[in-house]
Chain A
Amino acid sequence: MRKKWFSVLAVSLIVATALTGCMGKQSSDGGGNANSGSGASSSKTKTITLKVMGLTPKDTEAVKTIVGDYQAGHPGVQVDFQIPPDNGAALLKTRFAAGDAPDIFYLSPADIPAWSEKLADLSNEPWAKHVLPEGIRNITVDGKKLGFPLQIEGNGIVYNKDLFAKAGITNVPVTLTELKQTAEKLKAAGIQPFGEAWKNWGFLMHLFGVTFAHEQDENGFIDQLNKGTKQIKDLSNINNFFALLDLTDDYGFGKDSIAYDFTQQQKDFASGKMAMIKQGTWYTAPLLKQNPNLNMGLFAVPLSDNASETKLMVASTSNFVINKSSEHLEESKKFLNWLHDNGQKYLVETLKVAPVFDDLNASQIGPLHKDMNTYIKAGKTYDNFGTELWPSGFNTDISKPLQAYIAGVATKDQTVKQLQDIWTQRLNK
């Protein structure tokens, strides 16, 4: 009898702990603000924790250095820096929904408008006046600067200089016709000209973005697309876009390119299997890791036969933003200020990114950045990738019709119509 009572007691104890465990979590989630508010006033030597989320797993070591140095110089501040393993967007939404929103987080330019109501206005921060012209547009919503642009990237065609030399090509092509001739020459020399990874939707997005960046009045055109007075087929370079897409496949992997992904591409390009890939400065580290002696360069995508339109797309591609309702708004701003003040050390040398500030210098990062800087100095740049003002979801969705086009199961006209349908659908949902 006694034994039985004992076991009943034990089990109910377990239940009770489980219950209180769950309830405790609930209440601390719900009343988080009130608790820490009173805690802050009662203790003088408070330790605050800045919750930061962003960057990618390759930055793990760099983040350790940055966080360590910041904490050393700022007693009383703990930095809890989470690097999302894969899908950052999913994690970010989950943390907001769970009431565990980070103070500082990381957004791509296309996401800033959707998140804008949650973001603090950073227009009056000391670093704001140093942002390069190429970085301003992507962080600005309704005239307010909402982001701390972390890095500027150049989007164009990466080429292997040794292979170009082998084929006797001395100048990079500046028109679509020249690009085709270049491909012919490479082919004649027994070199595969292109090798595109059209399995990844991100690269198809980049390529289609070129068409928008080349539009004379891009914002106006997108306005009209949204109103329905213009259509995708009215893009001035829509035919050239398909010509370019065909070119990358006819002189590349053909239909198989839709099964070819970026890991294979990096490996093959670094080992000299092909001469050109439609990529950008973000490929520097992975390519040089595969082959430190790779002699490569970057040139602007020639989308038309008008050479003056061939400019490199250069824009800030990732930004730190601050949660407007953060408990540590001022401390978060201080962290970003510190990151800018010590930018040469931490952004350029530790994180190895090309900063978007005119008081920092990043010519040493790699050959692709060197070419990008040449374009910037010559003023031959577009300040966006053409993709930033698309309705959300358009970027991922268009990969399907474009892949179908590459596979040859849809014609150009059908594809254009489908692209238009996706645009309309995405506006209405």
Chain B
Amino acid sequence: MNKQIYRKSLVYIAFVGPMLILFLLFIFLPFIRSIIYSFQDWNGINSHTHWVGWKNYRNVLTDTDFARTISFTLKYVLATVIGLNVLGLILAVALNVGLKSRNLLRTAFFLPTVMGTVIIGFIWNFIITRLFPQIGELTGIGILHSSWLALPKYAFWAIIIVTVWHTLGYYMIIYLAGLQGLSHELMEAAEIDGAGRIKRFWSIVLPLIRPSITICLFLSIINGFKSFDINYSLTMGGPYGTTESISYQIFQDAFSKDLFSYASAKAVIFFLILTLFSVVQVAILKRKEVEA
């Protein structure tokens, strides 16, 4: 009996161990280091550092730039979460019916997801600054005439459009998988009972794909908060810093401005915000899932 327990735990260790070690080395240790840095005055270069207590945190809290990036990031998360999940679900439903070209369409919608974000940023940079005005001229659509990346309001939507276009396929696939797992019997029973298409969707399909909704919401929220590369390659945080995401600003502080400790303090605060959001969100959605 004892031997078996021993053997079992050996198997556990064998499977969990490697991942745990990697996690400790590459995530946990750097995390602890950045907490330590956030109480020091390291600039990323010096060999000597001093403890400065809460000074970095006090400075972060009075930093208007940081407040602005937080509000930008929140707006960005809200817009992308709605865009990605609503459009992703609509696409999934549309491509779940017996269309002849559906495999081709699924591939087409998924394709942007496999492209590198930086490349996408540069391509869209070209499309927005060069192509939009030309399309505007041809079609007479006034909105395309303005220089999108020069105006904060438009630059914001430019980032949203590119992000949604880029990652939509990923969420579509998750919803599609959820839809294909639905049992036909339930749908048939509902149809016989006289439920129309819309009624069936709201009362049967939606509650049953709740696990997909949970995971899609979770992923889109976390990815939204961590957004970095599109900001880097499409707008460079501009015009005048209005599209700087939190991650982008932390990167800039640490590596371009030689404020390593200050950036670490921001990163720790960012971590707390992120934890709060994910815990609350998972708690709410998980509860609903069980009820359904």
Contact = CB atoms under 8 A, between A and B. Distances in A.
Interface stretch (A154-162, A175-183, A252-260): A252-260
A403 B43 CA distance: 27
Interface string B30-48: 0000000000000111110
Contact of B238 (A199, A256, A264, A401): A199
Contacts of A403: 238-241
Contacts of A289: none
Contact of A15 (B13, B257, B260): B13
B148 interface: yes
Contacts of A118: 45, 47
Contacts of A392: 43, 257-259
B103 interface: no
A370 interface: no
Contact of B240 (A93, A258, A264, A393): A258
B17 interface: yes
A87 B239 CA distance: 21
Q: Which range contains the number of A residues in contact with the other chain? A: 35 or more
A115 interface: yes
A329 to B, nearest CB: 17
Contacts of A409: 240
A61 to B, nearest CB: 23
Contacts of A255: 147, 150-151
A258 B18 contact: no
Interface in B240-271: 240-241, 251-260, 262
Interface string B168-191: 000000000000000000000000
A199 B46 CA distance: 32
Contacts of B7: 4, 8
A407 B257 contact: no
Contacts of B259: 392-393, 429
A403 B260 CA distance: 26
B258 to A, nearest CB: 4
Interface of B: 7, 10-11, 13-15, 17-18, 21, 25, 43-47, 59, 125, 129-130, 147-151, 155, 236, 238-241, 251-260, 262
17 contacts: A8-B10, A11-B14, A12-B10, A96-B45, A114-B258, A118-B45, A258-B238, A259-B129, A259-B149, A259-B150, A259-B238, A259-B239, A392-B43, A399-B238, A402-B240, A409-B240, A429-B262
For the complex of A and B, 3 pairs with smallest distance between CB atoms: A393-B257, A259-B150, A259-B149
